[in-house]
Amino acid sequence: MISSHIYKTEAIVLGRKNTGEADRILTLFTKTYGKIRVLAKGIRKVRSRRASHAEVFCRSVFLLHTGKTQLDLVTEVSPVSSYQKLRKNLTAVGTAYFMCELVGKLLPERQENGEIYEYLVRQLSLLDAGDGDAVPDLTESFARRLLRMLGYLDEDGKPDSRELEAYIEEITERRIQSLRFIRRLEEAASSS
């Protein structure tokens, strides 16, 4: 637990899970505290002002309160970047989800990693700056660089592209759901 009862941190929302009638558990990636899970009470209510700033791959400043439970509570959220331009391109959305899913699955909780945080911010900003359908395919290059930064890959480039997904799933012991979404998009684009 963080020593102060209330603390502020900039974070990228990696994932979310609905709980209760109107609450949501958010997985945040912060520069200072690493990956943390927090509880956002009432965020799913129609009148919630915080909801739009706590969507997956939004970058926001969170005011958090350490509670008596294991999860810290979200008290305030203010936007830094919601990456609105990339949200208008389905391929960019799929790539952003992939980046967040990979960071979420590969990093341990509460372990600071400012270098990876800055890398994710740069990559999401690049996606957001892309123009329409000309979004570059960043999935493989992002995955390789992230794996190198975490010590899972050497500079020799192995495994090759065909084996990379299986390698990641072996490390995480889970399927990478966003890759299936990206493949469906690619198949739909090639059949049209």
In a domain, 174, yes or no: yes
Dihedral sign for Cα atoms in the order 174, 21, 70, 124: positive
Q: 101-149: per-residue pLDDT in tens? A: 999 999 999 999 999 999 999 999 999 998 545 454 688 889 999 999 9
Mean pLDDT of 148-158: 85
Specify whether 92 is located in the same domain as 125: yes
> How confident is the model at residue 21, as a pLDDT?
93
> How confident is the model at residue 118, as a pLDDT?
97
In a domain, 1, yes or no: no
Q: Hey, is 185 helix, strand or coil?
A: helix
Specify whether 138 is located in the same domain as 77: no
> How confident is the model at residue 96, as a pLDDT?
94
Among 81, 100, 121, identify where a domain stops.
81
Q: 16-48: per-residue pLDDT in tens? A: 999 999 999 999 999 999 999 999 999 999 888
Q: Please determine, for residue 14, whether its predicted confidence score (pLDDT) is greater than 80.
A: yes
Q: Which two tokens stand for residue 29?
A: 């990636």
Place of tokens 């990693």: 113
Q: 171-181: per-residue pLDDT in tens? A: 999 999 888 88
Specify whether 17 is located in the same domain as 104: no
pTM: predicted TM-score of the whole model, two decimal places: 0.90
User: Which structural domain, as residue segments, surrounds residue 183?
Assistant: 86-191
> How confident is the model at residue 34, as a pLDDT?
96
Specify whether 12 is located in the same domain as 63: yes
Q: Which residues of 83-120 are buried (b: 16+ CB within 10 A; e: fewer)?
A: beebbebbbbbbbbbbbbbbbbbbbeeeeebeebbebb
Give me the chain's average pLDDT, please.
89
Residue 43 maps to which CATH number?
A: 2.40.50.140
Specify whether 140 is located in the same domain as 52: no
In a domain, 144, yes or no: yes
* Residues whose CB is less than 8 angstroms from the CB of residue 118 and which lie 6 or more positions away in sequence, other chains included: 31
